[in-house]
Amino acid sequence: KNQVEQSPQSLIILEGKNCTLQCNYTVSPFSNLRWYKQDTGRGPVSLTIMTFSENTKSNGRYTATLDADTKQSSLHITASQLSDSASYICVVSARYSSASKIIFGSGTRLSIRP
Amino acid sequence: SQTIHQWPATLVQPVGSPLSLECTVEGTSNPNLYWYRQAAGRGLQLLFYSVGIGQISSEVPQNLSASRPQDRQFILSSKKLLLSDSGFYLCAWSIRKSGANVLTFGAGSRLTVL
């Protein structure tokens, strides 16, 4: 069964600290993995996208890693800012897929405290 | 550049009333179009997707319907809303390219059924 599981479900950290969000998936055959940031009441916005051959990708203070062997990904946020408070969603697509093969995780709710 | 517009942003409707949410995409042709629903604290659930005018695929049985009268227009409708239809609805598009399925989301529509 195609699944994407994220942990933790929620996380609270102090401004300026680093954090790492986890994503485990069982989607097959794998095509790509994306991390989205979703501010409250807004649509998700893409942060990074990685294919099978990529194991790390950065976007400013966000760095995503992918281990296709263990089917795990992480999103590392460096020097967190108050504006990083949001839900972070891991999304995995299957190869040659129809729309129904895009699998969403339930997200990690990140709160940054001053 | 491509943009996606979704409206209305918020909507409060009584049970049994009709619904129409509209989504349009600019700056691209022949996109795949999607409607998702996001319940509070839950992941995104795919409702409908379309690969062309008049072509609608439904992922889950429900009280809603979708239509694509024009290439870049996607409409979510209901004849009679239920309380369970409340939620956050997101329209998205992707390039019609096998295996890519990189989604770009609209800002979302918050529906409250009373």
Q: Which of A25-29, A78-82, B57-61 is least confident?
A: B57-61
pLDDT tens-place string over residues A78-96? 999 999 999 999 999 887 6
pLDDT at B100 over 60: no
Chain B residues touching A100 at Cβ < 8 A: 46, 49, 57, 59
Model confidence band, residue A97 (pLDDT cutoffs 50, 70, 90): low
pLDDT tens-place string over residues B68-85? 999 999 999 999 999 999
Q: Is B33 on the interface with A (CB under 8 A)?
A: no
Kind of pairing, strands A86-94 and A30-38? antiparallel
What does the alpha-carbon distance between residue A39 and residue A46 come to, in Å, rounded to a whole number? 12
Chain A residues touching B59 at Cβ < 8 A: 99-100
For range B56-67, the mean pLDDT: 87
SS (H, E, C) chain A: CCCEEEECCEEEEECCCCEEEEEEECCCCEEEEEEEEECCCCCCEEEEEEECCCCEEEECCEEEEEECCCCEEEEEECCCCHHHCEEEEEEEEECCCCHHHEEECCCEEEEEEC
- Which residue among A96, A101, A102 places its CB closest to the CB of B103? A102
Kindly determine whether residue A91 and residue B103, on different chains, have CB atoms separated by under 8 Å. yes
Answer with the residue of higher pLDDT: A22 or B97: A22
What does the alpha-carbon distance between residue B107 and residue B86 come to, in Å, rounded to a whole number? 17
Q: What is the pLDDT of residue A56?
A: 95
Q: What is the pLDDT of residue B56?
A: 93
Q: Which of A16-30, A43-57, B38-52 is least confident?
A: B38-52
- Which residue among A34, A43, A97 places its CB closest to the CB of B106? A43
